[in-house]
Amino acid sequence: MRQTLMRTRHIATPASLLIAVGLLAACGAGGSAASPGTSPGGSAAGSAAAKGSAAPSAASSGSASPSASAAANGQLGMIFEVNNVGWQKLLGTPNKQGMVVVMVVPNQPAAKAGVVEGDLVTAFNGAPAPNANAANVAIRKLKVGDKVSLDITRKSGPAKVDLTVEPASDTSLPQLLGDNVKKNGNDPRAYFLRGAYGDSDAKSAVDDYTKALQLNGDFVSAYVERGTLTQTSNPDQSMKDFDKAASIDPNYEPLYVNRSVLYSSQKNYDKALEDDKKAVELDPTDPAAYANLGIGYVNKGDPVQALNAENQALEKDPLYGPALLYRGLLQRDAAKADLQKAAQLIKDPNQRAIAQSALQKMS
């Protein structure tokens, strides 16, 4: 029962997140949450597009969720990703924990307020935003007309930016990203963004990440995204991508979340658990890291520690669907309510089907 911790990106209602033109978008453990036995591809981050390894997956820790913006029918008009060395080199972002703005949509709230690419968002309405899931907690509460205060770090120093959530526009994000590639054919970011948020199929997304890496060999997020998408189709290359990302930025939490899934699919449960623990160590605020840790303990035959990890995930975010699912599966007889709630909250159809199937078996 190991989760694939990937991002939800390519589906309209994510499990792991793209608020993108809607509200915000993020990255990291990219790809969508996957169900047992599925292979990478498609798109879902939270989450974002890849489908994962041989076990149910959780939302990714790398990106901010699109589902929140869709629910609010509002937009802020920017995409951001978990900060790492790759983005720091590309955008001059400070070496600090937070969500880096990687795209600002013209004529939308973020652009109007003066947000620029490379801004590092460290807090969202006063709440720290060290990862996509933390940002999503804040985003879920927003509706059209709400004021949003961002704490931002720039080269020039700290700044505060105030925005207002506007009604969603009819802007097509995939078309916008496709046009961006045509205009900026030598910019690795353009290919990465199209692969991550352009509603591409798995092969097209992998091709975009490969092109991004040809243009910039230090693009950490592109290695992690490509590695996530190829875990089943090309596990050897997938491992090389994760290991390369770790050599460039050993402190990038999403890579450990996703690499642990690959280790687990290879039945290397010791290495998988090491990565799970590393993810929690690097970001103890991320519910996705704890949800994955719980699956790691399951595979090591320690249900008590597994349950503790899922409880910690839900302390971080009581509405974190994957942790509700895993805790429910760990306590089937005593946790029917968890499974019912998970079936209501989870957007990913594979995970929702798992919850519904478990409920049917209990009835």
Model confidence pLDDT, tens digit, residues 192-215: 999 999 988 999 999 999 999 999
Helix, strand, or coil (residue 12): coil
The DSSP annotation for 187-254 comes to: -HHHHHHHHHHS---HHHHHHHHHHHHHH-TT-HHHHHHHHHHTTTT-HHHHHHHHHHHHHH-TT-HH
| Whole-number Å distance between alpha carbons of 131 and 83 | 9
Burial of 325 (0-12, 13-18, 19+ CB in 10 A): buried
Neighbours of 162 (CB within 10 A): 10
pLDDT value at residue 339: 84
List the beta bridge partners of residue 162.
149
Q: Identify the structural domains of the chain with CATH numbers, from first to last.
A: 1-363 (1.25.40.10)
Closest of 323, 319, 317, 325 to residue 351, by C-alpha:
325
pLDDT value at residue 333: 52
Closest of 135, 69, 94, 140 to residue 288, by C-alpha:
135
pLDDT value at residue 329: 86
Answer yes or no: are the C-beta atoms of 102 and 194 closer than 8 Å: no
pLDDT value at residue 188: 97
Compute CA 177 distance to the chain's CA centroid, rounded to the nearest angstrom. Answer: 19
pLDDT value at residue 234: 96
pLDDT value at residue 73: 65
pLDDT tens, residue order, the chain (363 aa)? 343 333 333 222 222 222 332 333 333 333 322 222 222 222 222 222 222 222 334 334 454 433 333 335 688 899 989 999 999 999 999 999 999 999 999 999 999 999 999 999 999 999 998 888 888 888 888 889 999 999 999 988 999 999 999 988 877 889 999 999 999 999 999 999 999 999 889 999 999 999 999 999 999 999 999 999 999 999 999 999 999 999 999 999 999 999 999 999 999 999 999 999 999 999 999 999 999 999 999 999 888 899 999 999 999 999 999 999 999 888 865 467 788 888 889 888 888 898 888 888 877
pTM here?
0.78
